């Protein structure tokens, strides 16, 4: 019998349509029921101004971490299936509004660069709406492969435009 080591993965959640807070809360419940995975914890919810086109509603963001024996592509399949359940229409408008966005940010210390999947998520170190919730649940000393230590990105973080919800 073969066994697969469990890997710690981080997932970014975002929504700005159709009751975004509820979308993210439901998605967190769904992540806790993900097959071959265990939800370790999640951050608070944050309200954030849109990055990219400004003529869209504010977002609700959070980050969750799971322990999983799914491989990264299986995990991506599951995340995209959950986005579909939430009515996400993929690639309608680049950087436009979405009912639910589930970004695979980190998968252990893997570096993956394929057309379908890039890990670490290429934009994660530039996005306050990812870094702030991530910093709640990840060690400040955590290495983001190819990018640097998490805490080095937290120092210059602009906290305007983002608010932690109770």
Residues marked as catalytic: 88, 98, 101, 103
The two structure tokens encoding residue 53: 């086109």
Strands 101-107, 118-119: pairing is unpaired
Interface residues with ligand ROI (CB under 6 A) are 14, 48-52, 59, 61, 95, 101, 129
- Please identify, using beta-carbon distances, which residue of 10 and 129 lies nearer to ligand ROI: 129
Smallest gap from Cβ 2 to ligand ROI, in A, equals 37
Strands (E), 16-152: 37-42, 46-48, 59-68, 101-107, 112-113, 118-119, 143-144, 148-149
Return the number of the residue (78 or 127) whose C-beta is nearest ligand ROI.
127
Q: Is the peptide bond before 120 cis (omega within 30 degrees of 0)?
A: yes
Distance CA 103, CA 41 (A): 16
């Amino acid at each position: 019998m073969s066994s697969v080591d469990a890997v710690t993965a981080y997932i970014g959640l975002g929504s700005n349509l159709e009751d975004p807070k509820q979308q993210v809360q439901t998605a967190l419940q769904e992540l806790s029921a993900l097959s071959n995975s265990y939800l370790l914890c999640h951050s608070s919810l944050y309200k954030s101004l849109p990055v990219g086109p400004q003529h869209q509603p504010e977002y609700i963001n959070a980050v969750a971490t799971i322990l999983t024996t799914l491989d990264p592509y299986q995990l991506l399949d599951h995340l995209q299936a959950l986005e579909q359940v939430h009515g996400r229409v993929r690639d309608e408008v680049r950087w436009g509004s979405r009912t639910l966005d589930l970004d695979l940010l980190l998968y252990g210390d893997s570096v993956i660069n394929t057309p379908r999947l890039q890990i670490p998520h290429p934009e994660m170190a530039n996005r306050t709406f990812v870094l702030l919730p991530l910093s709640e649940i990840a060690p400040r000393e955590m290495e983001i492969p190819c990018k640097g230590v998490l805490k080095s990105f937290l120092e210059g973080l602009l906290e305007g435009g983002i608010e932690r919800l109770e």
